Amino acid sequence: MLDERTRTRRVLLGRIVGVHGVHGAVKLESFTEPRLAIFDYKPWLLEREPGRFEEIAGAKGHVQGKGIAATLPGSVDRDAAASLIGTRIWVPRAALPEPEPGEFYQTDLEGLQVANLAGDDLGRVSHLFDNGAHDVLVTRDKAGRERLIPYVVDVYVKSVDLDAGRILVDWNKDD
């Protein structure tokens, strides 16, 4: 069940990276796996400017070479498509299926309190990123200090409790 914090979050699924043809189609970079799964989630929230979202429905697309070509409602010519380059594509967190037990969407971890086995407060999760080998938790404490903690379950990440809003890690406060 989604709590209010999770219900109001958005998840970034892709971005518009170019135009395709002269009839308003765009090229997408999809962050979903498989990449065409981006069309399975609705509604899309287009973010042309930071913090300003426009809800659209009816986007359609197909694989085109190494990318994805898509048609969006209202994009009827090349100029309209060009004006969308750089637009980020989000969906409401509530549009995603519930993850399997023990799995989490990154957005669900953002804002959680992180503590180590000794009980030291290591701050809150600011965001996560993939370093190629695994995800990395980025935490910020009250003093603004940032920590990078490998998100490796059972090695560094000992438990995640969404209900309590807490992640327990095996990590020294001074690392």
Rounded Cα–Cα distance for residues 70 and 87 (Å)? 13
Q: What is the DSSP letter of 79?
A: H
Q: Is the Cα torsion angle 155, 156, 159, 161 positive or negative in sign?
A: negative
Q: Where are the domains of the chain?
A: 9-93, 106-169
Domain 9-93 has CATH 1.20.1250.20: no
Please give the Cα distance from 19 to 95 (Å, whole number): 27
Distance CA 101, CA 96 (A): 15
* The predicted structure's pLDDT at residue 72: 96
| pLDDT at residue 175 in the model | 64
CA–CA distance, 106 with 79 (Å, rounded to integer): 35
pLDDT at 123: 97
How is residue 91 written in tokens?
């969906």
Q: Which residues of 113-127 are buried (b: 16+ CB within 10 A; e: fewer)?
A: bbbbeeeeebbbbee
pLDDT of residue 7: 53
What confidence score (pLDDT) does residue 2 get?
46
d(CA 113, CA 132): 25
Architecture of domain 106-169: Roll (2.30)
Tokens encoding 122:
């290591």
What local confidence, expressed as pLDDT, does residue 1 receive?
A: 44
Instruction: Report the distance separating Cα 160 and Cα 164, nearest Å.
Output: 9
pLDDT tens track, the chain, 175 positions: 445 555 578 999 999 999 999 999 999 999 998 999 999 999 999 999 999 999 999 999 999 988 899 999 999 999 999 999 999 999 999 999 999 988 898 899 999 999 999 999 999 999 999 898 999 999 999 999 999 999 999 999 999 999 999 999 999 988 6
